[in-house]
Structure 1
Amino acid sequence: MSTQNDLAGAARRLLEADIDARVDAVRKASEAATEAEHAEARHRAAQAAHEAAWKDALTVGWNERELQRIGLRPPGKPSPRRNRAGAKPTQSTPDVGSLNVTNDNESND
């Protein structure tokens, strides 16, 4: 038969494990929030650098159309969407009934 001290000790261990898990969850959430704040700051700095570099290119004689034609994305425009890593682009197959195929070896009698 368990003593009161054994039961109290078991209860304490269960409660402490629960507290440890909850504190660990708060620690992880705090670290993630801090990293998100740092990432947002890096993003803002990158956007400002992009804007400045774009203006510099315009200042030295490029125009917006030329920059876009060579593949540069203007500041403030979203990046083009890309396929997920490893995903192959889908290739559509034409409807056979819609193809107009002629055989040059056949005679049209």
Structure 2
Amino acid sequence: MASRSFTVSAWAKVDPGAGTSVVLSQDGTTISGMTLWYGQDGTWRFGLPTADSSTWAVDQAVAPATAGVWTRLTGVYDAVSGAVALYVDGQRRPRPRTRPAGTRTTRSSSAGTGR
């Protein structure tokens, strides 16, 4: 589980019709410890897993995406409250989600790929 609060940020542009696309991630043993991505449903997403397992149990903050437009994405995790928040072009979208204790990661971070 993430024991400290952190923030990640990146500029991203998704092409119209794109499928799921990872912007940033941090490796975990089984699943990424943190991921910032575009979902095939036309949304930006920032999430942390509830456990390092092969089961996809990820608490996420979700926001609508606009294809073909450069967008500043910022994911925030508050370790004290457990809140997971996503900011799109500086605006929080929507309200933050609270996540229970999850997976601790000490591995490298990646751009454009995830576990």
Q: TM-score, normalised by structure 2?
A: 0.16
- Which protein, 1 or 2, shows the higher relative CO under an 8 Å CA cutoff with sep ≥ 6? 2
More strand by share: 2
Q: Which has the larger radius of gyration?
A: 1
Q: TM-score, normalised by structure 1?
A: 0.17
